Amino acid sequence: MRFWRAAALAAGFVTALCAQAGATVVARASIADLRDEATHVVHARVVDRAVVPTFGPRGEIRTRTTLRVLTYLKGAGPATLTVQQLGGTLDGLTMHVEGNARLEPGDEVVAFLDVDAMADLAYVVGLAQGVWHVDRTPGALRVARDLEGLAFYRAGTVEVIFDDPPLTLTELWAAIGVEAPSADGAVRR
């Protein structure tokens, strides 16, 4: 009996994985998990993005994105940060990572980052889970993540979530552990 239960669970797991063959399977991280793992959390504007002109040490293609930091919500640092991610097109070859965080020039984001000061590079924590896009449509400021390409593993199941319910920018900042900026733009911790 135990064998059949285990076999049924394994078959269900394989079926779920096959259905999501185009997804990266990761553990779902809460905002607190992301905050705790990140060395820095920034509210920033994406300024520029370019593919590194040489292949990495294992033949990988890397893209670097420049963020102009509006506010440090955790950590401190320079006015701009360079975020490196796998993926891009170089010499006619394309590398794509399902579930990678989307950082497009002009976007306003709240990003959870692991900063390597020695390399002068930052890396997104949790793939697409670690970047919230700010929507300044008239009304309340909203933030949301683009989770396309991610599937979440949870003890025996794979769950696919394409988006989260949006939050206000103030709700996200509170979950990170900082108060919303005052009228003069200062952040209180």
Lowest mean pLDDT across 97-101, 119-123, 180-184: 180-184
CA distance 76 to 187: 12
Residue span of the structural domain in which 111 resides: 23-176
Q: What is the pLDDT of residues 30-45, one digit of tens each?
A: 899 999 999 999 999 9
Would the pLDDT of 128 be above 90?
Answer: yes
pLDDT for res 71: 94
**What is the mean predicted confidence (pLDDT) over 48-60?**
95
pLDDT for res 171: 86
The count of domains in the chain is 1
pLDDT for res 140: 63
Q: How much of the chain exceeds pLDDT 90, in percent? A: 53
pLDDT for res 47: 98
Note whether residue 16 is domain-resident: no
For residue 36 the two structure tokens come to: 């705790």
CATH code (residue 166): 2.40.50
Note whether residue 136 is domain-resident: yes
Would the pLDDT of 169 be above 70?
Answer: yes
Note whether residue 138 is domain-resident: yes
Strands (DSSP E) contained in 78-189 are 80-86, 88-90, 93-95, 108-116, 121-124, 131-135, 142-144, 150-154, 157-160, 167-168
pLDDT for res 181: 60
pLDDT for res 162: 56
Note whether residue 47 is domain-resident: yes
Which of 141, 96, 114 has the alpha carbon at shortest distance from 41?
114
Nearby residues of 122 by Cβ (< 8 Å), 6 or more positions away: 40, 67, 81, 82, 83, 84, 113, 114, 115, 116
